[in-house]
């Protein structure tokens, strides 16, 4: 039985995971070699291999580890034709994947080793597809010119070179659907898998699409990435953007079951007022409470501009350490998403809107976790909890401050209350047997 306490619990730290990761028995999440569930709490450092000096790489990785990020999403070869901070690109000729530049990959080796020493997982996109003609995919682009055989050989090279690392997940694609390069992308994936079958793999599709939307049940796709913004967001190529929880509810119900995570959404500090710290938290909590195994957080630091350090301590990013703590004290991997929206009987807000409160109950009926994006009055149906007496606590997701609600609730009586203020809040309801 869990116990509510107003304290920061002693938790599994990122350095304690025994890599490589594997898929859980119920296929809903990832776990380490000791069977401990792994929360995919990622930062998007897409240009990590290209833009940072070695001392900066270490500074960035240590900062993200201290903030309890467990994964860094990154591009192996950057945009097509891009060189790294040392003036070297991955290929002498991007239209010929056989013309590898050894110094470029030597630096990649070094970065992977630094992340590995910190027990940080790197989710690596080997050839970024690109949303807007900046990548390796598309008509007359590099993947098309190289063709399936050379792309397979490049994948085989990557699998051979990096297959011994336990901290790598591969991301095929990158911000776009496969389109005319579908078979070439498949060859890249199969080439990697031929040399490194235990390293997990996913696909990064265009916004509003998940990996499973654009690929059928192919054996090389181990885990699914979802990607969306929210309704009313008008800066993406597709103006009809579902909300994160809509996409995740849909993914949760698909068969065959595969673990999934929110791989991209609105970045904090971008897209004007949409890029707020609250929006970053909404996406993270929506993803996990709607059945995902985690999420990815982002800022303008994805491209590591000269002022990249100014984005290290944004409020939303800082609060991701609290998300990690909260979902380890109240185990996220036991939560069943409330797809039918029965937990919040009143006050959830508008479905398919950017202000919906959602909840989930653990599979043993011991606790509920409910996320409110903003202040409101509400009524909670406690039927999903097995105990007759319920204790409740508010958690501020920005500061991790606790506010215990005095007295015990009765399971047979709906819980009517209001949030402490107009900010976003997490409500924990925990059952007690008589």
Region 250-275 average pLDDT: 95
280: left (phi over 0), alpha (psi -120 to 50) or beta: alpha
Looking at residue 11, its pLDDT comes to 37
Residues 134, 72 contacting (CB under 8 angstroms): no
HSE-up of residue 66 (Cα within 13 Å, Cβ side): 9
Distance CA 434, CA 415 (A): 18
The answer to whether the beta carbons of residues 168 and 112 sit under 8 Å apart is: yes
Comparing CA positions, the residue from 340, 333, 398 lying closest to residue 369 is 333
Look at residue 198 in the predicted model and tell me its pLDDT.
96
Domains recognised in the chain with CATH numbers = 17-333 (3.20.20.80), 338-432 (2.60.40)
pLDDT of residue 318: 98
Q: In which residue are the tokens 């809040």 written?
A: 425
What is the SS3 assignment for 31? strand
Sign of CA dihedral 117, 121, 126, 131: negative
The larger pLDDT score, comparing residue 227 to residue 413, is at 227
The predicted structure's pLDDT at residue 434: 59
253/433: higher pLDDT: 253
DSSP string, 347-375: ----TTSTT--EEEEETTSSEEEEEESS-
What is the average pLDDT across 67-92? Answer: 98
- Residue 10: its pLDDT value, please? 36
Task: Tell if the pTM clears 0.75, that is, is over it.
Answer: yes
Q: Residue 407 — pLDDT band, cuts 50, 70, 90?
A: confident
Gap between the Cα atoms of 330 and 285, Å rounded: 13
User: What percent of the chain is modeled with pLDDT above 90?
Assistant: 89
Start-to-end Cα distance in the chain:
13
- Give pLDDT, residue 273: 86
Structure tokens at 222: 């181990």
Instruction: Work out the average pLDDT over 174-189.
Output: 97
Query: Binning pLDDT at 50, 70 and 90, where does residue 8 land?
Result: very low
Indicate if the pLDDT at residue 12 is higher than 70.
no
**Interacting residues of 22 by C-beta distance below 8 A, sequence separation 6+:** 30, 31, 32, 33, 198, 200
**Cα–Cα distance between 60 and 238 in angstroms, integer?**
33
Instruction: Look at residue 6 in the predicted model and tell me its pLDDT.
Output: 33
Structure tokens belonging to residue 171? 């991301």
Using a CB cutoff of 8 Å and minimum separation of 24, what contacts does 312-318 make? 312/60, 312/63, 314/268, 314/269, 314/277, 315/268, 315/277, 315/398, 316/268, 316/276, 316/277, 316/278, 316/279, 316/280, 316/281, 317/43, 317/67, 317/268, 317/280, 318/67, 318/398
Question: Strand runs (DSSP E) across 273-419, as ranges?
Answer: 294-297, 335-337, 344-346, 358-362, 367-372, 377-380, 389-395, 402-410, 415-418
Q: Is residue 44's pLDDT more than 90?
A: yes
Nearest to 149 by CA among 182, 187, 178: 187
- Over residues 400-418, the mean pLDDT reads 90
260 or 5, which is more confident?
260
User: What mean pLDDT is predicted for residues 246-250?
Assistant: 98
Q: Which residue has the higher pLDDT, 16 or 270?
A: 270
- List the beta strands (DSSP E) in 205-298: 224-227, 260-264, 294-297
Mean pLDDT over the full length of the chain: 94
- Angle between helices 244-252 and 277-289 in degrees, nearest 10: 10
Note the Cα 96 to chain centre separation in Å: 33
Name the pLDDT band for 83 (thresholds 50, 70, 90): very high
Cα–Cα distance, 149 to 96 (Å, whole number): 11
pLDDT greater than 70 at residue 23 = yes
For residue 32, the 8-state DSSP code is -
* pLDDT in the model for residue 231: 86
């Amino acid at each position: 039985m869990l116990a509510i306490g107003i304290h920061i619990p002693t938790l599994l730290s990122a350095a304690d995971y025994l890599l490589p990761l594997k898929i859980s028995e119920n296929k809903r999440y990832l776990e380490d070699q000791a069977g401990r569930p792994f929360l995919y709490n990622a930062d998007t450092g897409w240009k990590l291999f290209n833009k940072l000096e070695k001392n900066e790489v270490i500074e960035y990785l240590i900062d993200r580890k201290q903030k309890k990020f467990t994964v860094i999403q990154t591009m192996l070869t950057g945009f097509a034709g891009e060189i790294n901070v040392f003036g070297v690109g991955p290929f002498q000729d991007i239209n010929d994947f056989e013309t590898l530049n050894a110094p470029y990959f030597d630096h990649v080796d070094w970065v992977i080793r630094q992340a590995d020493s910190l027990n940080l997982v790197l989710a690596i996109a080997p050839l970024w597809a690109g949303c807007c003609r900046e990548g390796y995919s598309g008509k007359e682009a590099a993947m098309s010119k190289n063709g399936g055989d050379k792309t397979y050989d490049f994948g085989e090279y990557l699998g051979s070179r990096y297959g011994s690392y336990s901290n790598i997940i591969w991301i095929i694609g990158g911000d776009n659907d496969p389109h005319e390069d579908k078979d070439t992308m498949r060859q890249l994936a199969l080439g990697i898998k031929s040399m490194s079958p235990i390293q997990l793999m996913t696909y990064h599709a265009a916004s509003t699409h998940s990996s499973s939307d654009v690929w059928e049940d192919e054996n090389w796709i181990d885990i699914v990435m979802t990607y969306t913004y929210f309704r009313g967001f008008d800066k993406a190529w597709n103006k009809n953007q579902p909300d994160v929880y809509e996409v995740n509810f849909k993914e949760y119900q698909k068969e065959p079951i595969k673990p999934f995570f929110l791989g991209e959404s609105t970045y904090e500090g971008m897209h004007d007022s949409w890029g707020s710290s609250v929006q970053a938290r909404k996406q993270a909590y929506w993803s996990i409470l709607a059945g995902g195994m985690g999420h990815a957080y982002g800022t303008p630091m994805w491209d590591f501009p000269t002022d990249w350090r100014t984005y290290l301590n944004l409020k939303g990013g800082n609060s991701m350490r609290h998300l990690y703590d909260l979902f380890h004290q109240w185990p996220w991997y036991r939560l069943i998403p409330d797809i039918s929206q029965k937990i919040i009987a009143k006050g959830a807000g508008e479905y398919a809107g950017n202000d919906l409160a959602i909840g989930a109950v653990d599979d043993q009926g011991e606790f509920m976790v409910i996320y409110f994006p903003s202040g409101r009055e509400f009524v909670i149906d406690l039927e999903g909890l097995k105990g007759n007496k319920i204790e409740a606590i508010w958690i501020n997701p920005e500061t991790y401050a606790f506010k215990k609600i005095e007295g015990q609730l009765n399971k047979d009586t709906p819980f009517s209350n209001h949030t402490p203020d107009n900010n976003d809040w997490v409500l924990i309801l925990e059952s007690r047997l008589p």
